[in-house]
Amino acid sequence: MITLKNVTKSFNGNSIVRGIDLSVSEGERIAIIGPSGCGKSTLLRLLMGLQQTDTGQVWIDNEDITQMDIKQLRRMRTKFGMLFQHAALFDSMTVGENVAFPLREILHLPEAEIQARVKDKLLWVEMSGKEHRMPSELSGGQQKRVGLARAIACDPKIILYDEPTTGLDPILSTNIEDLIVKLNKESHTTSIIVTHQISTILRTADKIYLMRDGVLLPPETPESIQESQNPYIKEFISGGLAS
C-alpha cells in the first residue's frame, strides 16, 4: 500500500532523510520513533507530498507520488487524514466548522449529510455537544480529539499521526492512544504514528521503527523493542520509560 524507496531529503545542505526504504501494508499500525529533530515529521510530509523528495520514490497504492503534478497530488491526498502535532485547527472556525471543512471542500456533501457526519465524528471522539465552541476554548487534549475527528471526517484509508500525544498528561495520552487503536480496529485504516513518546508506541503500534540520523533501523515489535540489545534502542527506550 505504501512503499518508500531510497528516499532522501535535505534542507539548506543538511541531510535530514538519508535513503529510507519502508513498506507499510493495508491496515497496519506502524510507529516511527526517534529523538526530536531526527526527521520523523519530515518523513510524514514526504509521504503526503507536502514536501518534495530530493531523490527516491514514494508509492501510494501503486502510484509514485514523486512523479505527480499538483492536481494529482491533491487527488491522492484525499486518501489521507492527518492529525497534526498541535491539532492545527482553523482558529477562525468553530469545532463543528472545522470537522465539516473537508466534507464541504473535498466531498462537497449536502449540508444535512455534513451535519450528520460532524455529529457522528464528534461523538466518536467523545466531543459531542462542542460543535459551537471555538478551538481557543478547548484544552490541548480536546483540540487533539477534534483534530482527529477532522482527520477521519472523510473516512480516509491512511491516517498519519504527528506526535499525537506530545504535551498531554498521561490520562489524555491514553485517551488518544485508545482512539488510535479503536479507529484502526473499527475501520481497518492504515496508521503511521510519529512520536517520541514510548508509552504511545507500546500501546498503539504493531511494528516500530527507530529513526536515527535520517535512517530507519530494522523494525521491532512492542515486545521485542523492550528486549533489544541495540545500545541506541536500549538507551532510547530506558530513557523514555524512566521519564
Partner 1 sequence: MSFFSSLGQRVLNFVTAWGDVTILTGTVLKRCITRRGYFGRTITQMISLGIKSLPITLLTSTFVGMSFSVQIVKEFLRFGAGEMIGGIVGLAMWRELAPMMTAVVVAGRVGAAISAEIGTMKVTEQIEALEAMSQDPIDFLVIPRVLACTLMMPLLVGMADIVGFLGGFIVAISSNRVNPYAYFDAAQKMLYPLDIYGGLFKAIFFGLAISLISCYVGLNAKAGAKGVGEVTTKAVVFSLIAIFILNYFLSVAIY
Binding residues vs partner 1 (CB under 8 A): 45, 48, 50, 70, 74-75, 77-78, 80, 82, 84-86, 88-92, 101-102, 105-106
| For partner 1, the closer CB: 86 or 185 | 86
Q: How far is the CB of 57 from partner 1 (least distance, A)?
A: 21
Query: Which residue's CB is nearer to partner 1, number 44 or number 205?
Result: 44
Amino acid 195 reads T
Residue 72 CB, nearest distance to partner 1 (Å)? 11
* Beta-sheet strands, E only, within the chain: 2-11, 14-24, 29-33, 55-60, 63-64, 80-83, 158-162, 190-195, 207-212, 215-216
The DSSP call for residue 229 is -
Phi and psi angles of residue 135, each rounded to the nearest 5 degrees, phi first: -55, -35
Q: Which is nearer to partner 1, 66 or 208 (CB)?
A: 66
The CA distance from 43 to 41, in Å, is 5
Per-residue exposure over 192-205, b if at least 16 CB sit within 10 Å of its own CB, e if not: bbbbbbbbbbbbbb
109/217 with CB nearer partner 1: 109
The three three-digit cell numbers of residue 40, written as one number? 520523523
For strands 158-162 and 190-195, give the pairing: parallel
Q: How far is the CB of 226 from partner 1 (least distance, A)?
A: 32
| Minimal distance, residue 201 CB to partner 1, in Å | 22
Closer CB to partner 1, 11 or 90, in the complex = 90
What's the distance, CA 230 to chain centroid?
26
At closest approach, how far in Å is the CB of 88 from partner 1?
4
